[in-house]
Amino acid sequence: MAKKRIVSTTINGTQRDFLCEPRQTLLEVLRDTLDMTGTKEGCSNGNCGACTVQLNGRPVVSCLVLAVEVDGATVETIEGVACNGTLHPLQDAFLNNAALQCGICTPGFIMQSKSLLAENPNPSEHDIRFYLAGNLCRCTGYDKIVRAVQDAAGKMSSCCEAKV
Amino acid sequence: MRDFDYAAPTTVAEAVQLLQSHKGAARPMAGGTDLIDQVRVGRLTPDLVVDIKKIPELTVLEWSANGLRIGAAVPCYRLYHDPKVTAAYTALTDSAAIIGGIQIQSRASIGGNLCNSGPAADSTPSLIALGAIVVIAGPQGTREVSVDTFCTGPGKNILEPGEFVVELKLPARAAKSGSAYQRFIPRNEMDIAVVGVGVSVTLDAAGQNFVAAKIALGAVAAKPLVAEAAAKALIGQPVSEATIQKAGEAARAIATPIDDMRGTIEFRKHVTGILTARVIQQAVERARGGK
């Protein structure tokens, strides 16, 4: 078996060191080694977006990242979105707009939507649908998710203190 | 997933040495969006994965009077986030913006798309249309080849054991030139081309006649095709519906697609003609200063 590696990374602002095999994905390490099970496993081949996290500020599917690759990197996961027990405007908007049913796709949608609003604070419906095309939801039919993102975008841009 | 070792060299020479010493059991990895999945499903069985993203040359995105240098590991999003690249090499940024979804574009590279050598790869027709040169490093040193001859069949290319792609060199764009890439797919994103067409055209100063043209087709043969007759049908001719139609027919004539779940042979041929004409039209509009 290939030798385990020590990986040093910053996850949600906290320095985390872990041991992993080269063949382990970031998704596996987050869930199985670090017990951060907020990030969900869906298809495990990059199609569904359930495992979306931010790697050095860019949204990626963590099933297609080797854990060894994140040495020295910054990772943001769903666990870092709420602040001291206060939900992020996107999380609030998903609840208020009933933008989830079974919920397994939700962490991925929140992380991807967060990246969208950081890049484009006032997205059109088309912008939202295009940016979220790599996230699949089999429950909602997407319309409520789109409305939730629009709602959050409106609230975040009307409050200059809201952080993306 | 299968057990493998991992190395992240910081020089081209070190990467060549690692690839060579494992005699075909080592695979270079840029974004990993194809490789990791292929290892997981057992299509690839590497003993060593060589992460090439830590080699400075592989992440260069450099613009000069001579053209554009794109390191083989540069992810798609860096191309379309660069206004200069988008303005001058529009076909390539068209491609980069539709490969997978946004998450895939954060990691997937143009070099990787080329080296996977899928017949339906979205960036290869654009690279061909834009006249890209592939810079390859290997045990014998560095060599440069035209991207036209790089792919040899589904998943196959001219890379020898121990070789890997370092960068793509795109020549400077002529005045009054424009380029575009479009694919036909049943949905708007996250899909594989039924037909893909990349076009680059250069017009005369008045913007009325074709001076130069290059056209490439994806997903209609075992490898991306250079549509020479289609380009010839344009060069020296006035920009007109009739000229563009002829080029579309010439492109259709060389398509040798397969029947599969994405489309029948007849449908793919038909789409090749129509899409080629549309993409030429779009490249013309861009050459004239449009979007």
Average pLDDT of chain B to the nearest whole number? 97
Residue B211: which domain range? 177-287
A94 within domain boundaries: yes
Over residues B118-147, the pLDDT tens digits come to: 999 999 999 999 999 999 999 999 999 999
User: pLDDT tier at B189 (50, 70, 90 boundaries)?
Assistant: confident
Domain check: are A112 and A131 in the same one? yes
Helices (H) and strands (E) in chain A, counts: 5, 5
Closest CA to B30 of B143, B160, B164, B189: B164
The pLDDT value given to residue A143: 97
Angle at B287 between CA B209 and CA B291, to 5 degrees: 145
- B37–A46 CB contact, under 8 Å: yes
Domain check: are A66 and A103 in the same one? no
Task: List, in sequence order, the alpha helices (H) in chain A.
Answer: 26-28, 89-96, 106-119, 125-131, 143-158
Chain B positions touching A49 (Cβ under 8 A) are: 101, 103
The pLDDT value given to residue B13: 97
| CATH number of the domain residue B242 falls in | 3.30.390.50
Chain A positions touching B49 (Cβ under 8 A) are: 22, 66
- A64–B101 CB contact, under 8 Å: no
Q: Which of B173, B189, B222 is the last residue of a domain?
A: B173
| CATH number of the domain residue A9 falls in | 3.10.20.30
Residues in A whose CB is inside 8 Å of some CB of B read: 1-3, 5, 21-25, 44-47, 49, 52, 55, 58-61, 63-66, 68-69, 112, 115, 129-131, 133-135
Domain check: are B158 and B184 in the same one? no
Segment holding B26, helix H or strand E: strand B26-29
Residues B218-245, mean pLDDT to the nearest whole number: 98
Considering its fold, how many domains does chain B have in total? Answer: 2
Domain check: are B162 and B229 in the same one? no
Task: Give the distance from residue B201's alpha carbon to the nearest chain A alpha carbon, in angstroms.
Answer: 29
The pLDDT value given to residue B203: 98
A164 within domain boundaries: no
Task: Give Cβ neighbours of residue B235 (< 8 Å, ≥ 6 apart).
Answer: B210, B211, B212, B213
Segment holding B243, helix H or strand E: helix B241-254
Q: Which of A33, A58, A80 is the last residue of a domain?
A: A80
A and B: number of Cβ contacts within 8 A: 88
Task: Give the distance from residue B102's alpha carbon to the nearest chain A alpha carbon, in angstroms.
Answer: 6
Domain check: are B54 and B73 in the same one? yes
Q: Which of B134, B155, B173 is the last residue of a domain?
A: B173
Residue A161 has pLDDT above 70, yes or no: no
| CATH number of the domain residue B74 falls in | 3.30.465.10
Residue A1 has pLDDT above 90, yes or no: no
User: pLDDT tier at B187 (50, 70, 90 boundaries)?
Assistant: confident
Domain check: are B43 and B70 in the same one? yes
pTM, whole model, 2 decimals? 0.96
Q: Is B64 exposed, middle or buried (0-12, 13-18, 19+ CB in 10 A)?
A: exposed
A41 within domain boundaries: yes
d(CA B204, CA B190): 37
Do B78 and A56 touch, CB atoms closer than 8 A? no
Nearest chain B residue to A62, by CA:
B103
Domain check: are A10 and A76 in the same one? yes
Q: Which of B173, B194, B222 is the last residue of a domain?
A: B173
User: pLDDT tier at A159 (50, 70, 90 boundaries)?
Assistant: low
Over residues B192-220, the pLDDT tens digits come to: 999 999 999 999 999 999 999 999 999 99
Amino acid at B124: T
Residues B235-260, mean pLDDT to the nearest whole number: 97
Domain check: are A101 and A61 in the same one? no
In what order do the strands lie in the sheet containing B133-138? Answer: B61-64, B67-71, B164-171, B133-138, B141-146
Residue A33: which domain range? 5-80
Over residues A39-75, the pLDDT tens digits come to: 999 999 999 999 999 999 999 999 999 999 999 999 9
